[in-house]
Amino acid sequence: MYDFAYHKPANVADAAKLLAADGEAKALAGGQTFIPVLKQRLNKPSAVIDLGGLGLSGITLAGNTLTIQAMAKHGAVAASAEVKKAISALATLAGWIGDTQVRHRGTIGGSLANNDPSACYPAAVLALGATIKTNTRSIKADDFFQGMFTTALEPGELITAVEFPLPVEKSAYEKFRNPASRYAMVGVFVAKGPAGVRVAITGAGQNGVFRHAEMEAALAKNWSPEAIVGIKTPADDLNSDIHGSAAYRAHLIGVMAKRAVVAAG
């Protein structure tokens, strides 16, 4: 990696100030994407603002909201009794991210801010109609994800928490892993809750996570795996690589969605 200045602020305000003051500074949450990128010299930040001193790792269940703070690690979400009680599919999803080492460093806020097109969390956040809380505002999931590695976050804006509306009546996540990287090649999160019936697909789209309107409509009418059999996903906007053509991914969306509906019960 290249040399950089290192700061570890103790509160969100200081972190935001440091980031706002320096356009070349980058925030470090769990670092499970960022550190490898630094090691490969693919990124040359002037400063790394380590968010590890902010706290912000709590998970709370209050009223009709499950709140997961931004620095909660995947392993903590996977193990959380609150998450399992409120939205068990979300705990399952977190438990399937990466490996044990990744799950003990990677954070929900870091994953969402990075918006890797093959990350798992965006599918859950979008399907569950969650709200992203930042140091300055609240952003609806539908407005947050804006394409591959692109979000609605402004420079200096930091995610502080994610709020999931409850009760979630049905939900499940199914993931087809890239055989090499084990990232989601196709991940499908299905949910029926306060945000309605939603189907969010990650890993497959050229523009990152997206909702599958046709499947949502079909499931809204009839929540059953049969309801989505035969729904074809156009391959036009899907990724294609040596592991999976766009057509294969389109097919897998159907398979994974069906399995997710079965799993959701």
Partner 1 sequence: MGFEGIGASVKRKEDGRFLAGRGNYVDDMRQTGQLHAVIKRSDRPHAKILSIDTAAAAAAPGVVAVYTGADMAAEGIGGLPCGWQIHNKDGSPMAEPPHPVLAVGKVRHVGDSVAVVIAETRQQAKDAAELLVIDYEDLPAIASVRDAVAPGAARVHDEVADNQCYDWHIGDKAIVDAAFARAKHVVKLDLLNNRLIPNAMEPRAAIGDCDVAGNYTLYTTSQNPHVIRLLMGAFVLHIPEHQLRVVAPDVGGGFGSKIYHYAEEAIVTWAAGKLRRPVRWTAERSESFITDAHGRDHDSTAEMALDEAGNFLALRVRSLCNMGAYLSTFGPAVPTYLYATLLAGVYKTPAIYAEVRAVFTNTVPVDAYRGAGRPEATYLLERLVDTIAHDTGLDRVELRRRNFIPADAFPYQTPVALQYDSGDYVATLESALKAADWAGFPARRRAAAARGKLRGIGMSTYVEACGIAPSHVVGSLGARAGLYEVAEIRVHPTGSVSVFTGTHSHGQGHETTFAQLIAAQLGVPMSQVDVVHGDTAKIPFGMGTYGSRSLPVGGSAIVKAVDKIIAKGKKIAAHLMEASVDDIEFKDGKFTVIGTDRSKALAEISLAAYVPHNYPIDELEPGLDETAFYDPKNFTFPGGCHICEIEIDADTGVPHVVNFVAVDDVGRVINPMIVEGQVQGGVAQGIGQALIENAVYDSAGQLVTGSFMDYNMPRADNVPNIHVGTETTLCTHNPLGVKGCGEVGAIGSPPAVINAVVDALSDYGVRHIDMPASPQKIWSIIQAGRPALAAE
In the complex, minimum distance from the CB of residue 21 to partner 1, in angstroms, rounded to a whole number: 26
The one among 13, 21, 81, 180 contacting partner 1 by CB under 8 A: 180
Instruction: Give how many residues touch partner 1 by CB under 8 A.
Output: 17
Both structure tokens of 23:
């356009």
Write down the residue that tokens 């603002």 correspond to. Answer: 49
Among 4, 207, 251, 263, binds partner 1 (CB under 8 A): 251
Which residue, 155 or 179, has its beta carbon nearer to partner 1?
A: 179
- We find the least distance from the C-beta atom of residue 72 to partner 1, in angstroms, to be 26
Q: Where are the beta strands (DSSP E) in 84-232?
A: 131-134, 138-140, 159-165, 170-177, 184-193, 196-202, 210-211
The one segment of 88-96, 159-167, 175-183, 231-239 that binds partner 1 by CB under 8 A? 175-183
**In whole angstroms, what is the distance from residue 81 CA to residue 77 CA?**
9
> Hey, which residues between 1 and 40 contact partner 1 (CB under 8 A)?
2-3, 40
When asked if residue 242 is in the footprint of partner 1 (CB under 8 A), the reply is yes
Q: Cα(239)–Cα(198) distance, rounded to whole angstroms?
A: 22
**Of 223 and 248, CB closest to partner 1:** 248
**Of the two residues 62 and 242, which places its CB atom closer to partner 1 in the complex?**
242
Closest CA to 132 of 104, 100, 166, 157: 157
Report the residue from 152, 217, 248, 263 that binds partner 1 according to the rule CB under 8 A: 248
Interacting positions 39-58 with partner 1 (CB under 8 A): 40-41
Should residue 244 be labelled a site residue for partner 1 when binding is judged by CB under 8 A? Answer: yes
Report how far residue 93's alpha carbon sits from residue 35's, in angstroms, rounded to the nearest whole number: 23
Choose between 133 and 175: whose C-beta lies nearer to partner 1. 175
| Closest distance to partner 1 from the beta carbon of 248 (Å) | 5
CA 114 – CA 107 distance, rounded (Å): 11
The residue among 47, 43, 39 whose CA lies nearest residue 1 is 39
62 belongs to the binding site for partner 1 (CB under 8 A): no
Please, what is the minimum distance in Å from the beta carbon of residue 242 to partner 1?
6
Q: How far is CA 91 from CA 77, 88, 118, 124, 172, in A?
A: 6, 5, 18, 10, 10
**Amino acid, single-letter form, for residue 33:** T
* Chain contacts with partner 1 (rule: CB under 8 A): 2-3, 40-41, 176, 179-181, 241-245, 248, 251-252, 255
